[in-house]
Structure 1
Amino acid sequence: MRVDAQLNRDKIIQAARLIFVHEGPDAPLEKIARRAGVGIATLYRRFPSREDLVMAVATDTLRSLNTAVRTAAEEQPDAFGALRVFMHAALDLKVGAIMPSLLGRIDVEDIIERSGDALDHVTELLQAAQAADEVRADVLPGDVIFMVVRLTRPLPGRAVAEDAALAHRQLEIYLDGLRSPGASPRHDALPGPAIGSAWFRRIRARMAGVAPSAARKATRAA
């Protein structure tokens, strides 16, 4: 495949992943093409049917997840650092949001067989971090996987523009909870956004459909 064709294919898959998260696999293909910055004819040249695109998104997501955990294990100097890097990468892939949205349209086991299974690598990282007394001994692989799944689900209503950044902040808090009592102390501060009470009230008002002026008034009154 030519470089420009591969680039267009990658852009379409990335755009489809983001749109499928919010609208599901039946989202308009024209909308995906616009987000990818390509024409609808280009999309159909790369993916002749919707099923082809859905399969490509699922395969690319799991393949990228598998690559992320292997890369983290190879590049990070310690197992806990590798686990941390992998979990942040999994958030960026939105794996816990995109894969459930495609269930019923894909054969997950077939895709895992072709893309590789990240679970074995995650288990190895976790066990290595526990052996180094960096992670609590009672933490299991499911604790890692399902926390990623929870944090990659978007908040309702798209009321929080900082949703993705907030998930990374909350992951850092969760990672601290994984650490064993004997682990090295944390030295760096939590990343943003730091949502205080006033900011949360404004977000809550947007979720509830309250007018911005009313939300500001409620914040001042508080």
Structure 2
Amino acid sequence: MTTTAESARPAGSARTPKLRADASRNRERIVLAARDAFVEHGADTALDEIAKRAGVGNATLYRNFPDRVALIHEVAVLVKNRVLALAETATAEADTPDGDGPFDALQRFAHASVEEKVGGLCALFSNHVDPYDPELTDIRKRLQAAVGGLMERARVAGELRPDVESGDLFIALSQLTRPLPNTSCRLHDGFVHRHLQIFLDGLRAPAASVLPGRAATFEDFQPEN
């Protein structure tokens, strides 16, 4: 947001880029602090506490986000965009001729994605974010294409078992990043990557068993009409 003071400065003012960079960093710090606070304490976390975590004043938080709904929406956008960026990076790595294969790229994506703590935010997004928001819908479609394409590359290469889909992966990422009841988040985090690797090993071809039921698809996560 451009303040009156900023708009009054000459276009070539040396201070303007620095202020804009500072404002951008403050905004990101607020959103990341909100993400962590919402995972730990839920949607009712005091905004003052989030500002304190972010290392900014209350006025800075409210200047960027007039209310809780706006902040939660921005957390959803940030987290989903960061997961999308990870998927697109993994896809680019999988397409590199001298890379180590699409399944390894898929594993790197999965391990990096759990750091975004999506499972701990599922209830927050479901209850407080418009699922039909155009920006989030676009991110969701791009994420579906990126992860689905990455898994298809691994499947064609004979590295991924044929009876799994992107929905199976997202269920695992969601469940593994959901804080366990009556335990500290720190204790839970210590086991996430270990248990994720156990799951990923189960995705490798050839399959060691026949899976019951059907594969979960990305469409299973879409909002109901």
User: TM-score normalized by structure 1?
Assistant: 0.76
Amino acid corresponding to residue 33 of structure 1 in structure 2: A
Deviation by residue 1:130-175 (Cα, 9 ceiling, x = unmatched): 1111111111222111011110101223436232231011111111
- Find the partner of 1:44 among 51, 58, 62: 62
Measured against aligned partners, the alpha-carbon deviations of 1:98-132 in whole angstroms (never above 9, x if no partner) come to 13223222112324224343122111111111111
Match of 1:172 in 2: 197
State how far apart, in whole Å, the 2-side matches of 1:116 and 1:161 are.
29
Cα deviation, residue 8, structure 1:
0.7
1:34 counterpart (23, 43, 52): 52
Compared with structure 1, are the counterparts of its residues 160 and 66 closer, same or farther at alpha carbon in structure 2 (3 Å cutoff)?
A: closer
Report the equivalent of 2:126: 103
TM superposition shift of 1:176: 0.8
Question: Does structure 1 residue 131 correspond to structure 2 residue 149?
Answer: no
Counterpart of 1:18 in structure 2 is: 36
Give the match for residue 194 of structure 1.
Answer: none
Structure 1 distance, partners of 2:194, 2:129, is 32
What's the Cα RMSD here? Answer: 1.8
Q: 2:109 aligns with which of 86, 97, 113?
A: 86
Name structure 2 gaps, 5 residues minimum.
2-19, 208-225
Q: Match for 2:76: what amino acid?
A: A
The structural deviation recorded for 1:42 is: 1.1
Q: Secondary structure at 2:160's aligned position in 1?
A: coil
Tell me how far apart the structure 1 counterparts of residues 182 and 57 of structure 2 sit (CA, whole Å): 28
2:177 matched to 1:159? no
Runs of 4+ in 1 over 6 A off after TM superposition: none
**Aligned AA (1:65):** V
Letter in 2 for 1:97: G
Distance across 2 between alignment mates of 1:160 and 1:53: 22
Tell me the alpha carbon deviations over residues 55-101 of structure 1, each in whole angstroms, 9 at most, x when there is no partner: 10011111111111001111342211221111112201111221322
Higher relative contact order (CA 8 A, sep 6+): 2
Q: In structure 2, what is the Cα distance between the partners aligned to 1:85 and 1:109?
A: 30
1:97 touches 1:152 (CA, 8 Å); kept in 2? yes
Unpaired runs of at least 5, structure 1: 183-222
Aligned pair in 2 of structure 1 residues 28, 96: CA closer, same or farther (>3 Å)? same
Say how many residue pairs are matched. 182
Q: Percent identical across equivalent pairs? A: 40
State the TM-score, normalizing by the size of structure 2.
Answer: 0.75
Give the secondary structure class of the aligned counterpart of 2:128: coil
Local SS of the residue matching 1:174: helix
Asked whether 1:63 is paired with 2:81, we answer yes
- CA distance in 1 between counterparts of 2:73 and 2:184 reads 30
Partner of 2:161: helix, strand, or coil?
coil
The answer to whether structure 1 residue 115 and structure 2 residue 133 are counterparts is: no
Q: Secondary structure at the match of 2:104?
A: helix
